[in-house]
Amino acid sequence: MASVTSLTDSVQQRLASALSATLPEAADADPLLRRSDRADYQANGILALAKKTKANPRELAAQVVARVESGDLIKDIEVSGPGFLNITIGDSAITTTLAERYADETGRLGVPYAATPGTTVIDYAQPNVAKEMHVGHLRSAVIGDSVVELLEFTGENVVRRHHIGDWGTQFGMLIQYLDEHPHELDHKDAQISGEEAMSNLDRLYKAARRLFDSDEAFKTRARRRVVDLQAGDPHTLAVWQRFVDESKIYFFSVFEKLDMEVRDADIVGESGYNDMLAETCRLLEESGVAVRSEGALCVFFEDIKGPDGDPVPLIVQKSDGGYGYAATDLSAIRDRVFNLKASTLLYVVDARQALHFRMVFETARRAGWLNDDVTAVQLAFGTVLGKDGKPFKTREGETVRLVDLLDEAIERASAVVREKAQDLSEEEIAERGAQVGIGAVKYADLSTSANRDYKFDLDQMVSLHGDTSVYLQYAYARIRSILRKAGEVRPAARPELALADAERALGLHLDSFAEAVAEAAREYAPHKLAAYLYQLASLFTTFYDKCPVLRAETPEQVQNRLFLCDVTARTLHRGMALLGIRTPEKL
């Protein structure tokens, strides 16, 4: 199925050709078309053009209007104010373009693919081995997952990378401890739950820490382990692998609860770049991008200074020869650019790491690994706050366990579903409760712009009113129920029918789905899609209040309204899927 040209694009094209017919020198002038409250659209571009060509704007506008080919598309076009154009779309054109979207069997609703897709490597959902996941990891996973969906939907070639924290000095202590207590991670059952895996790791971590802090000899042995690990000693690596495997059991259980696909092959943690670290340092040092300073290999920046005014360097290699987070990230850039052939590197990481990425990206540019054609962007997200507006902590001041939060969201959502449930079994309530609860958490995260902090407020998240996923899910389920009730009567587009205001408003908004998706994908801004969907559900609610569907006046009107219902349902379903959120058929 070919893509569908939106009404906006069609109007834009006709205005542009009328403009260039009027003023041949203005062949590429933008008519600046917007949706408007006065008419369906307003075009403001003629004002600037008149100024440039010293013409009278209202006269120029009138000349353009005379040349616009209206056809069935434009019902009315008139000059207003100092030289704006007010444009009203014909009802039949609205119904006809929606019918084209509806006929798209691929489920893309006529949304086109990008003309020139690139390859984006996206770094997201990157928890740390042997550690509990927290709300920061939630944000990276939820935002990243939605951006993956959005980009893939526009035809971009997407490579996912879960840059888990699985390397570094902290493993010396853990490995040494497990080596001395080898049965601590033995599993009685073949299959253990994520919860059990995490509690095993937690127990081990605490025991190792206790020993490390109290026993000098153990401390020395643990430090030696770090060296063995970096050197790739097979036995040390085998013990280390046990931690990674145990952690993956836990990670996968959380991602599953989040209803999110994370593939093992896409998990390439910090350890995955170990072989490249020495070479990365050599390349940086030889090219002069990095210099030795007190034994450490450093990169300096003009504009990055500490509180005392001294330059803050990026340390690529420490004076003891050890490599850190920066060396790993620089090596990952080389891998992503030269092996994975990325055109864009996208990092969905906490805003608090912004300085790190600024320095890493600038270093890579100086080294020539990044340039104008191969760029890197941090999609930086803000902090999750508690209801008190402070960073989210338990009452005891500890980090909140992500699993506890998700379970609570599911529990609250199940209560909401149960209360409203009419014909749902216990099993269905549990299933919907999970879809609503997880949807609520994701939507709360995705509906504000990523760089902002947001309050984690479960009461608000599972509310049926306001800008929540539950509201959107109910709108969808309501439509599905109308369509079921229609029974034998099938939705059908009836372009010959005049439309009520609420129908026109709904139809015009439905038509702009492709633009909403394209903008959200281009700007890595799922919140723009969320806002579009919320408005869609609101417009549907108004339509449903004002326009009886199954009891419309004529059988044709019933069909056409069912058709509007169905296009709305499909758009909600597709849009929510792009946010990673389910739309249950019944609620």
Which residues would be at the binding site for ligand ARG (CB under 6 A)?
123, 126, 128, 163, 165, 329, 347, 349
Q: Tell me the three-class secondary structure of 553-571, residue by residue.
A: CCHHHHHHHHHHHHHHHHH
Q: Which two tokens stand for residue 357?
A: 């990425």
Q: CB 166 → ligand ARG: shortest distance, Å?
A: 9
Q: CB 321 → ligand ARG: shortest distance, Å?
A: 21
- Which residues fall within 8 angstroms of residue 358, CB to CB, at 6 or more apart? 304
Q: Which is nearer to ligand ARG, 255 or 347 (CB)?
A: 347
- Which residues fall within 8 angstroms of residue 200, CB to CB, at 6 or more apart? 184, 185, 192, 246
Q: Which is nearer to ligand ARG, 314 or 349 (CB)?
A: 349
Q: Which is nearer to ligand ARG, 361 or 513 (CB)?
A: 361
Q: What one-letter code names the amino acid at 563?
A: F
| 8 Å CB contact between 87 and 40 | yes
Phi, psi of 165 (to 5 degrees): -80, 95
Q: Which is nearer to ligand ARG, 362 or 511 (CB)?
A: 362
Q: Which two tokens stand for residue 538?
A: 């609101």
| 8 Å CB contact between 433 and 417 | yes
- How far apart are alpha carbons 226 and 203 in whole angstroms? 21
Q: CB 347 → ligand ARG: shortest distance, Å?
A: 6
Q: What one-letter code names the amino acid at 26?
A: A
Length reported for the chain: 587
Q: Which is nearer to ligand ARG, 153 or 524 (CB)?
A: 524
Phi, psi of 315 (to 5 degrees): -90, 115
Q: CB 399 → ligand ARG: shortest distance, Å?
A: 12
Q: CB 140 → ligand ARG: shortest distance, Å?
A: 7
Q: CB 126 → ligand ARG: shortest distance, Å?
A: 4
Q: CB 20 → ligand ARG: shortest distance, Å?
A: 48
Question: Look-up: residue for tokens 């003309």?
Answer: 115
Q: Which is nearer to ligand ARG, 330 or 517 (CB)?
A: 330
Q: CB 165 → ligand ARG: shortest distance, Å?
A: 4
Write out the H or E segment, with its range, that includes residue 260.
none
The Cβ of residue 397 has, within 10 Å, a number of other Cβ atoms equal to 6
Phi, psi of 267 (to 5 degrees): -85, 100
Sheet containing 119-123: give its strands across.
157-161, 119-123, 344-350, 375-381
Q: Which is nearer to ligand ARG, 40 or 329 (CB)?
A: 329
Q: Which is nearer to ligand ARG, 345 or 482 (CB)?
A: 345
CA angle at 582 for the pair 577 and 585, rounded to the nearest 5°: 120
Q: CB 458 → ligand ARG: shortest distance, Å?
A: 24
Q: Which is nearer to ligand ARG, 198 or 349 (CB)?
A: 349
Q: CB 194 → ligand ARG: shortest distance, Å?
A: 18
Q: Which is nearer to ligand ARG, 45 or 165 (CB)?
A: 165
Q: What one-letter code names the amino acid at 8?
A: T
- Which residues fall within 8 angstroms of residue 518, CB to CB, at 6 or more apart? 111, 154
29 — alpha (psi -120 to 50), left (phi > 0) or beta? Answer: beta
Q: CB 323 → ligand ARG: shortest distance, Å?
A: 14
| 8 Å CB contact between 495 and 99 | yes
Q: Which is nearer to ligand ARG, 323 or 347 (CB)?
A: 347
Q: CB 509 → ligand ARG: shortest distance, Å?
A: 37
Q: Which two tokens stand for residue 227?
A: 């060296």
Q: Which is nearer to ligand ARG, 168 or 584 (CB)?
A: 168
- How far apart are alpha carbons 542 and 531 in whole angstroms? 17
Q: What is the DSSP string of 272-302?
A: GGGGGHHHHHHHHHHTTSSEEETTEEEE--T
Q: Which is nearer to ligand ARG, 167 or 543 (CB)?
A: 167
In angstroms, the Cα distances linking 546 to 31, 500, 503 are: 34, 9, 9
Q: What one-letter code names the amino acid at 66?
A: A
- How far apart are alpha carbons 68 and 64 in whole angstroms? 6
Q: Which is nearer to ligand ARG, 20 or 383 (CB)?
A: 383
135 by Cβ neighbours in 10 Å (0-12 / 13-18 / 19+) ranks as: buried
Q: CB 201 → ligand ARG: shortest distance, Å?
A: 15
Q: CB 359 → ligand ARG: shortest distance, Å?
A: 12
Q: For the CA atoms of 452, 453, 458, 462, what is the dihedral angle to 10 degrees?
A: 0
